[in-house]
Amino acid sequence: MKKDNIVRFGIIGCGFRGTAYSDYTLSHPEEAVVTCACDILPGRLEQFGDKYHVPKENRYVDAKTMLEQVKDIDIVIVANLDADHFEMAKMALERGFHCLLEKPMSPDPWECLELVRIAEENNCKLLVCHVLRYTPIFSTLKELVDREEVGKIISIHHAENVSYTHIAHSYVRGNFRKLSPIILAKSCHDLDILNWLTGKKCKKISSFGELTYFKKENAPIGSATRCMECSIEKDCPFSALKQYLTEETGWPTSMISVDTSLEARTKAVREGDYGRCVFHCDNAVVDHQIVNILYEDDITVSFNLNGFNTTETREIRILGTKGDIRANMEKNYITIRHFGSQKETTIRPKVHAGAHSGGDAMLMKDVVEIARSGNWDSARTNASKSVDSHIMAFAAEVSRQEGVIVDMDSFKEEIIKKGRMS
């Protein structure tokens, strides 16, 4: 038990995700505070520091310096870009700090496994921000599955339906357009949920998917390389002007410029990556993908990820030996049906405020309670378990690219072997 019962966070990466997790300290100042913060963008660092009352002397543009100089930290939250997750988390763990790491852990499979080893070696706890485990829908589904409400699981159909605006922002124009496979960057959440719900080990994976639509040959006749110079912009649903130059300045608009004034946003659309035509970008990730999974006990799962939806939704069907369950995260319903009965039961879990139906806030609530009590073994998203979803994502990408069925045990052994040799 902590003496003063206040959990002190050090933040690396003061962007959208770093802010999402730090918000908990504003609504629960008696439980947690942000002690120090680091970001490579001085303007964003100052905005973040002012919002979360970080002392001026504890604002850094270099993470190594922050971790060396500030000792009053209970947990380091790493929420910068994917490619830097490994080095930042490694630095924190090797200095003896517990770490809450934004997903994905790393765009490299060996680095994901290595972080688990480093945490154990330094007697530190590494948690992964798999917030879906804390959402009302999936928490309730877990309770239903564990008590075998519809018997033993035989099969699951799960879909992450990414909206057309979201995929255009993040995976065509944005930071995630070519750094990591989308099945890792976006959907390690979903693979983790499937692992959590089944409670079983993944044995084999196959996958198909392509970048089909967002490329130059599909550009409409008359389109330009930038939206501000385009004669058909007004008729294009992917227009950057429609997306970023409105009165709405929250996410994703807040991502295109630290300064969210109309003048600054207009400049960003005119000159930056987010003003490019979606058919004339340097994106490389697929825009639709399916993954087939074989778990222990012959449980089969199909997962569909695609970016062609008017609204953002996650939908799931759980098929058991005694009935089936249907659920939609955004519409907030769970419907249960039992074999031999005409009755249908609908549950609408209590939704909390914030991103991911309150999942972000509930994750932080749990992390703070764990840190205050010292009961780290109760954490839902310990990296030693969460890492499995990442390895599955890498395996799915190998299957998609090479057209093979991947055996998970052999795949993981090969990762470890290559890591030791490098």
Residue 33 has pLDDT above 80, yes or no: yes
* Average confidence score pLDDT of the chain: 95
Percent residues over pLDDT 90 in the chain: 89
pLDDT of residue 6: 94
Half-sphere exposure for 104 (CA within 13 Å, toward CB): 30
Residue 404: alpha-carbon gap to chain centroid: 27
Superfamily, domain 7-128: NAD(P)-binding Rossmann-like Domain (3.40.50.720)
Structure confidence by residue, pLDDT tens digits, 145-159: 999 999 999 999 999
pLDDT of residue 3: 57
Name the fold adopted by 133-214+284-354+383-421: Dihydrodipicolinate Reductase; domain 2 (3.30.360)
| Cis check: omega of the bond before 252, within 30 degrees of 0 | yes
User: Which band of pLDDT confidence, cut at 50, 70 and 90, is reported for residue 1?
Assistant: very low
Instruction: Give the span between the Cα atoms of 319 and 118, in whole angstroms.
Output: 39
Instruction: Give the span between the Cα atoms of 99 and 89, in whole angstroms.
Output: 7
Instruction: Give the span between the Cα atoms of 186 and 181, in whole angstroms.
Output: 8
Q: To the nearest 10°, the Cα dihedral for 210, 295, 406, 414?
A: 130
Question: Which residue, 230, 326, 241, is CA-closest to 280?
Answer: 230
Residues of the chain with CATH 3.30.360.10: 133-214+284-354+383-421
Give the other-Cβ count within 10 Å of 402's Cβ.
9
Write phi, then psi, for 65 (nearest 5 degrees): -60, -45
14: left (phi over 0), alpha (psi -120 to 50) or beta: alpha
* CA angle 27–30–35, rounded 5-degree value: 85
Residue 420 has pLDDT above 80, yes or no: no
Mean pLDDT of 346-359: 80
Structure confidence by residue, pLDDT tens digits, 279-311: 999 999 999 999 999 999 999 999 999 999 999
Structure confidence by residue, pLDDT tens digits, 77-132: 999 989 999 999 999 999 999 999 999 999 999 999 999 999 999 999 999 999 99
Residue 2 has pLDDT above 70, yes or no: no
Residues of the chain with CATH 3.40.50.720: 7-128
